[in-house]
Structure 1
Amino acid sequence: MQQHQDERDQVPPDRDVAWMRRALELAARGRRPDANPRVGCVLVSPEGDLVAEGWHRGAGTLHAETDALSHAGDAARGATAYVTLEPCNHTGRTQPCAQALLEAGVARVVHAQSDPNPRAAGGAEVLRGHGVEVTSGVLDDEATALNRTWTHLVTTGRPWVTWKLASTLDGRSAAADGTSQWITGPVARDDVHTQRSRCGAVIVGTGTALTDDPRLTARRADGSLHEHQPLRVVVGERDLRPDARVLDDSAPTWHLRTRDPKEVLARLAEAEIHHVWLEGGPTMAAAFLAAGVVDEVIAYVAPVFLGRGRPSVGDLGITTMADALRLEPTDITVLGTDVRITAALKEIH
């Protein structure tokens, strides 16, 4: 173990960093909402020439290593494999990638993130045990960030939750008469749909479903649907109208008759959904915040004042500034006339 730790502490050669960056570029082509992580692989000859490349395209398809090996043929023998995630040691729909690399005669494996999934981890040790040179941790931070939400599900047992809100400068999510369309402009709204399309599920409460009758689909500016549609999840005990737009055939829909955020997330975790887009009203947002299960906030703030109206979040039980829930901004972007603020939030319990 000490030897492997020392290995991670060493500065990797420039060639290892360069080839791993290429592997990360390939990994980024994978589907964000898929149950599996996004992984890229590059095979390089002993002379330093590119042999083949591959990436994982989603559950049920070839893993990145076997995809690259399928293009390499005999040229994989003696090559170095650069992989963004430790080769798996798990037999599922495909054979373990560690075994595939051994059978192909790969001489060296360089991987970034170590596999946090106990069911699939151990590939590096298997390779070392068969005489393959293994270097771990090259661009580990970048690889982990690429699969941030998947890693969160594997390590915590619950999906990563992004709470999206749109509000005025004075913190209103709707006017006094209940109208909320549209607080933000078309550029911000288009961005919301793009962000939705990258998530596994979008959540609202029955109140929002009954009042606003949203479709909760991910749409382009011309009204067409994005290729991926998140699972639509309506949370609450009240019945939905039979003709509710959220029940159409544009995307699958769950109606979970509970008010417990942790129960909702447990159901989604069972379905291997690792990124949830929370779009409920102020009561729903407050419930998820109070349960300590919001990881990130994306706020679309419009240069608008209402003076009265519905607040963007319900009562959190905070009565003094000393107890204020403070977030750490990670990105601020101007979208048309609006501002998108992304901020990280730690558990409050």
Structure 2
Amino acid sequence: MNDMFYMKKALQLAVKGKLTTDPNPNVGCIIVKDGLIVGKGWHKKQGDSHAEIIALKMAGDLAHGSTVYLTLEPCNHYGNTPPCCPQLLISKIKKIVIATIDPNPEVSGKGITFLKKNGILVSYGILEKEAQNINQRFFKRMITGLPWLQLKLGISIDGRIALHNGDSKWITSHESRKDVHNFRSQNQAILSTSISIIRDNPSLNIRYINTNPKNNIKKYQQPIRIIIDSKNRIKPNHPTIKINTGDIWLIRLYKDNQKWPNHVKQIVSLESNKQINLLQLFLLLRKKNINSIWIEAGGTLSGALIEQNLIDELILYISPKILGQTAKPMFILQKMFKINQIKQFYFAQVNKLHTDIRIILKKNKTYNISFTQYK
């Protein structure tokens, strides 16, 4: 067996934590001795043991002289759990194969340096791109200071999101609406606007995950519900506020003095022309350890996000219905007069969902870890 074989096994373990590890990365570990797997582990959630610690406990004394396959560089600092590098040293492993260096400045390169200085053979770069891709949200936050942003829109075949009077229930099929919950479950937060909240009274939570009927919804983290409310339109008695399935953050230019439930927080963000500055908002959310945000909003916010190049993935649910030219467009954009001014995405995936089509578009043709960095 070769390094790539065992690293693939470690990656398969890592993805098991994709719904529960935020804001931490997904990490898997395999320990091999004399051609046999003697230990394996994966990180389940923040505060729990890291993948390599779980694998070392399983291996016990068999870890002595073994080779460890780890999808992400081990930490050598105290966080919510003790550092992993000293435990690897105590276990007397012979070699460690690492898929990718950790982009977290507190970790990056320091774990590898520690292990090398203490006589452990270290190699890295095996299936590096695959390891980065399963943690693309974590990598983006660490490198750029911005969360991974997915914008979802349910549209008619002529690109409209609601009739001229705002009626939009339901453009897309029941199967499409169920599918949305799978995406919601993969994000730390769901973002919308006060206008959408007042118009539609959405719950903005996870109510079912249809990838596996046996899944228990209670074991998944409910996303933080973030509402941009620059004019303080949302009141404590609003139906969405009364649904207490987790935290709600009201993003405002100033706080009010009303009595809010304990699960609601008012957060003041920087303004731009008496509106929330979107870039500064997402930088603020990064500081709150938000890796990824699922966005459900109307044409105004959607258009602003597209124009500011903030969206990483665009998720379109397209219904074979026609709403006509008086209906509301999915993007409200400034006028453009040259083709080279237009915004472009790339088709990543197309699926049929009952009567609808789901299209996933990405900003980049292929995933590229060299993000633009924001201060």
Fold shared, TM-score > 0.5 on shorter chain: yes
Tell me the amino acid that sits aligned with residue 64 of structure 2.
R
Of the three residues 222, 237, 244, the one matched with 2:230 is 237
Asked if structure 1 preserves the Cα contact closer than 8 Å seen for 2:19 and 2:221, the reply is no
Question: Quick check: 1:113 aligned with 2:76?
Answer: no
Of the three residues 270, 275, 280, the one matched with 1:263 is 280
Asked if structure 2 preserves the Cα contact closer than 8 Å seen for 1:246 and 1:253, the reply is no
| 2:190 corresponding residue in structure 1 | 202
Asked if structure 2 preserves the Cα contact closer than 8 Å seen for 1:187 and 1:335, the reply is yes
Of the three residues 282, 304, 315, the one matched with 1:287 is 304
1:225 Cα deviation after fit: 5.1
The number of aligned residues is: 335
Secondary structure of 1:131's match? coil
Of the three residues 262, 268, 272, the one matched with 2:289 is 272
Secondary structure of 1:43's match? strand
Identity %: 34
Moved more, 102-111 or 82-91: 82-91
Query: Separation in 1 of the partners of 2:54 and 2:72?
Result: 14
Question: Quick check: 1:183 aligned with 2:171?
Answer: yes
Instruction: Give TM-score scaled by structure 2 length.
Output: 0.85
Secondary structure of 1:240's match? coil
- Alignment of structure 1 residues 1-349 onto 2, 5 Å: 15-32=2-19, 34-45=22-33, 47-121=34-108, 122-220=110-208, 227-238=220-231, 239-247=233-241, 248-258=243-253, 259-307=276-324, 308-345=326-363
Secondary structure of 1:209's match? helix
1:136 Cα deviation after fit: 0.4
Instruction: Give TM-score scaled by structure 1 length.
Output: 0.91
Asked if structure 2 preserves the Cα contact closer than 8 Å seen for 1:183 and 1:302, the reply is yes
1:233 Cα deviation after fit: 0.5
Query: Separation in 1 of the partners of 2:335 and 2:156?
Result: 22
Query: Separation in 1 of the partners of 2:130 and 2:239?
Result: 39
Tell me the amino acid that sits aligned with residue 299 of structure 2.
P
For structure 2, the 5+ residue unaligned runs are 211-215, 254-275, 365-370
1:221 Cα deviation after fit: 7.5
| 1:9 corresponding residue in structure 2 | none
1:71-90 per-position Cα deviation (integer Å, ceiling 9, x unaligned): 11111110100000011122
Tell me the amino acid that sits aligned with residue 190 of structure 1.
K
Asked if structure 2 preserves the Cα contact closer than 8 Å seen for 1:167 and 1:183, the reply is yes
Tell me the amino acid that sits aligned with residue 119 of structure 1.
E
Distance change >3 Å, CA 316–CA 193, structure 1 → 2: farther
Query: Separation in 1 of the partners of 2:35 and 2:8?
Result: 15
1:241 Cα deviation after fit: 3.0
Secondary structure of 1:113's match? coil
1:152-208 per-position Cα deviation (integer Å, ceiling 9, x unaligned): 000101101111111111110001221101111011111111101110111111111
Secondary structure of 2:76's match? coil
CA RMSD of aligned residues (A): 2.1
1:242 Cα deviation after fit: 2.5
Secondary structure of 1:285's match? helix
Query: Separation in 2 of the partners of 1:312 and 1:131?
Result: 58
Secondary structure of 2:2's match? helix
1:40-89 per-position Cα deviation (integer Å, ceiling 9, x unaligned): 001101x1111111111111110111111111111111010000001112
Query: Separation in 2 of the partners of 1:105 and 1:321?
Result: 61
Moved more, 261-270 or 134-143: 261-270
Query: Separation in 2 of the partners of 1:203 and 1:99?
Result: 40
For structure 1, the 5+ residue unaligned runs are 1-13
Query: Separation in 2 of the partners of 1:211 and 1:267?
Result: 27
1:104-144 per-position Cα deviation (integer Å, ceiling 9, x unaligned): 10000001011111101221121111111111011111110
4+ residue runs of structure 1 moved beyond 6 angstroms?
none
Distance change >3 Å, CA 56–CA 225, structure 1 → 2: closer
